[in-house]
A and B are shown apart, each in its own frame.
Chain A
Amino acid sequence: DQQVKQNSPSLSVQEGRISILNCDYTNSMFDYFLWYKKYPAEGPTFLISISSIKDKNEDGRFTVFLNKSAKHLSLHIVPSQPGDSAVYFCAASVSGTYKYIFGTGTRLKVLA
């Protein structure tokens, strides 16, 4: 049962343009969402998060949007830089369960 889905395994974007990574979920009880970034041979590192009481959270070049009715979140990176090339995982949690359900990741390649 894949509760968190990232349907695009890969994405290529030109440097300076916007990268949009998408994530869909099925469990309406999820109330906290995170994005992690992973470089090869390293573990995932936290990037940005959003609570279900918000529909947008911004941190520098990174913005996460949450559409609860569509059970969809997206990560926008503007402007994209070559150093952003990595695998991006979204994760979701139900408060109090102490565990996150991860998607399978989207590999972003930013072309110089």
Chain B
Amino acid sequence: DTAVSQTPKYLVTQMGNDKSIKCEQNLGHDTMYWYKQDSKKFLKIMFSYNNKELIINETVPNRFSPKSPDKAHLNLHINSLELGDSAVYFCASSQDPSSNIQYFGAGTRLSVL
């Protein structure tokens, strides 16, 4: 039973399309995150939610909109996809914002053509 699961694992789409990536955690954690790993392998935080409230919002284009319907789910919607959005997106969760250990999903590889 996967602790942090994200779907889909792979996503291939055309420029200009809108797509969503879903994330669910069954660890009972309060805090969830989205990270982007680009072609240079940098793993950068994009957003963090604690109990459905946004607590971290890095400099990310507003085409990216996270949504947390409950504390076990954090979805990422991307509008008007661009070539530069191609990356691996990781979801993660932690007990609370001050917890040092984060649990990661397996990643979603997004390819924008």
Contacts and interface: CB of A to CB of B under 8 A. Distances in A.
Interface in A66-81: none
Interface in A54-112: 89, 93, 96, 98-100, 102, 104-105
Interface string B78-113: 000000000000101000011011111111000000
A104 B100 contact: no
Interface residues of A, number: 20
A9 to B, nearest CB: 8
A98 B56 contact: yes
Nearest to B6: A43
B102 A100 contact: yes
Nearest to A95: B98
Interface in A2-51: 2, 32, 34, 36, 41-46, 49
Chain B's interface size range is 20 to 34
B101 A102 contact: no
Given A43-B4, A43-B92, A43-B107, A102 B102 contact: no
A104 B56 CA distance: 21
A93 B42 contact: no
Contact of B45 (A41, A43, A46, A100): A100
A36 B94 CA distance: 14
Which 8 interchain pairs have the tightest Cβ spacing?
A: A43-B104, A102-B43, A98-B97, A104-B41, A46-B101, A44-B104, A99-B45, A43-B105
Interface of A: 2, 32, 34, 36, 41-46, 49, 89, 93, 96, 98-100, 102, 104-105
